[in-house]
Amino acid sequence: MDNPIIYEHDFVDRFIAGTVGPPGERAFFLQVSSPIGTHTVAVEKSQVAALSEKLLEMIGELRRSKLASLDELGLPALIDNANLEFPLDEEFRAGLIGISWESTNQRIAVEIQSISEETDADFNDPSELMSIEDQDPLDILRFNLRINQARGFCDRSKSLLAGGRQPCPFCGLPIDGDGHLCPRANGYRR
């Protein structure tokens, strides 16, 4: 059984989402940099959208419930428009992503857990299920963000997600460079 690798960043210089590849074939990554180094995690586009949405919800709740200091809440968004740092050394593919508020240090704690490698098991067959003790422990990336860093991540993510393929005006599905088979047009190419 392997030991999990835990990448931990207390003071983050950068936290960004970025892509590699042309629209329609883009690979999405989250990248964290601090004085201890840079770590990159592969993610799905939907995970970037969900993380951005949940961070904005958390910031709104921190403001409403007055849990964060006004000094932290008042800082302008720290938007990082620089590219991902290359070469990309993907640590793992993200599975679960959790966020929480650390009131003692006024930071948003983010924890990203790797996706399980046991994807071949037939989960309908109980004999195929592995016990928790039999599974390899999962790698984890942990870091803390200031509120303005989280806001900057959300702003960058919004433009990153909007920079993909344009949606079809009829069905809303993304249109490839050579068009697409539109379900609202009964399968005719648009």
CB 160 within 8 A of CB 80: no
Q: How many CA atoms lie within 13 A of 159 on its CB side?
A: 10
- In angstroms, rounded to a whole number, what is the distance separating the alpha carbons of residues 17 and 45? 10
Q: What is the mean pLDDT of residues 97-113?
A: 94
Q: Is the dihedral of CA 55, 60, 65, 69 positive or negative?
A: positive
- In angstroms, rounded to a whole number, what is the distance separating the alpha carbons of residues 165 and 167? 6
Span 62-101, pLDDT tens digits = 999 998 888 888 888 888 889 999 988 999 999 999 999 9
In angstroms, the first-to-last Cα distance of the chain is 52
Span 169-187, pLDDT tens digits = 778 777 776 667 787 776 6
For the chain, domain boundaries = 6-120+135-185
Span 154-163, pLDDT tens digits = 999 998 988 8
Q: What is the per-residue pLDDT for 187?
A: 60
- In angstroms, rounded to a whole number, what is the distance separating the alpha carbons of residues 62 and 106? 10
Instruction: Give the CA dihedral 99, 70, 53, 165, nearest 10 degrees.
Output: -120
**So what's the architecture of 6-120+135-185 in CATH?**
2-Layer Sandwich (3.30)
pLDDT cut 90: percent of the chain above it: 53
- In angstroms, rounded to a whole number, what is the distance separating the alpha carbons of residues 68 and 76? 15
CB 49 within 8 A of CB 43: no
- In angstroms, rounded to a whole number, what is the distance separating the alpha carbons of residues 56 and 63? 11
Cis bond upstream, residue 87 (ω within 30): yes
Q: What is the per-residue pLDDT for 125?
A: 54
Give the DSSP H or E segment for 42. Answer: strand 37-43
Q: What is the per-residue pLDDT for 94?
A: 95
